[in-house]
Amino acid sequence: MKWLSAIAIALLALTFAQASARAEDKAFERKDYNFNGWTKGRFSEMVTVVNPGKFITLAGIGAEEEGNGRNTMHKGDMLGQCRYAFMKIKKALATQNATLADVTRIVVFMTTMEPYGDWVTCRKEAFGAGALPASTVVQISRLASPDMMIEINIDAVTK
């Protein structure tokens, strides 16, 4: 009876090893899609990822002072707040061996659309000439701190 158990365990181990090998054979693949001409260069309408190694979500990243979160940095300056938020995002991603190139989706909450051009400038600075992730910008009446003008959520995947 013991030899039957040993054979069953060996077969299970072989099955798991084969499944693991098949998963490793599949290469990481990211594709960015634009279905409408006007979106090209502005954002990707869809991003697909096959066989990601890690899925990363960052939420509520804004201009709150690092460390204590008590003060809003760059009050009244959308571009300054956005740059500060991206600095924090880059640092957070780096803790997971990820970069902005791994970002697949970004959701931005802004308290006013008046400085929308500052958001576009900030995003271009952050992402450079690389592919832009699927993106949404939403205007809301207020964020957690009354001095905050922008808050960013990020999804990223790595190999």
Say how far apart CA 149 and CA 21 lie, in whole Å: 48
Q: How confident is the model at residue 62 (pLDDT cuts 50, 70, 90)?
A: very high
- Averaged pLDDT score across all residues of the chain: 84
Q: How confident is the model at residue 2 (pLDDT cuts 50, 70, 90)?
A: low
* Helix or strand run (H / E) with residue 99: none
Helix axes 116-127, 78-94, angle to 10 degrees: 30
Q: Is the pLDDT of residue 1 over 80?
A: no
Rounded alpha-carbon distances, angstroms, from residue 119 to 6, 67, 104, 141: 62, 24, 18, 17
Residue of higher predicted confidence among 92 and 13 = 92
Tell me the domain boundaries of the chain: 27-158
What is the pLDDT at residue 118? 97
Residue of higher predicted confidence among 57 and 34 = 57
What is the pLDDT at residue 11? 43
What is the pLDDT at residue 4? 47
Residue 42 and residue 69 in contact, taking contact as beta carbons nearer than 8 Å: no
Q: How confident is the model at residue 37 (pLDDT cuts 50, 70, 90)?
A: confident
Architecture of domain 27-158: 2-Layer Sandwich (3.30)
What is the pLDDT at residue 38? 75
Give the pTM. 0.74
Residue of higher predicted confidence among 19 and 156 = 156
Say how far apart CA 147 and CA 113 lie, in whole Å: 15
> Which residues are CB-neighbours of 16 under 8 A, at least 6 positions away?
none
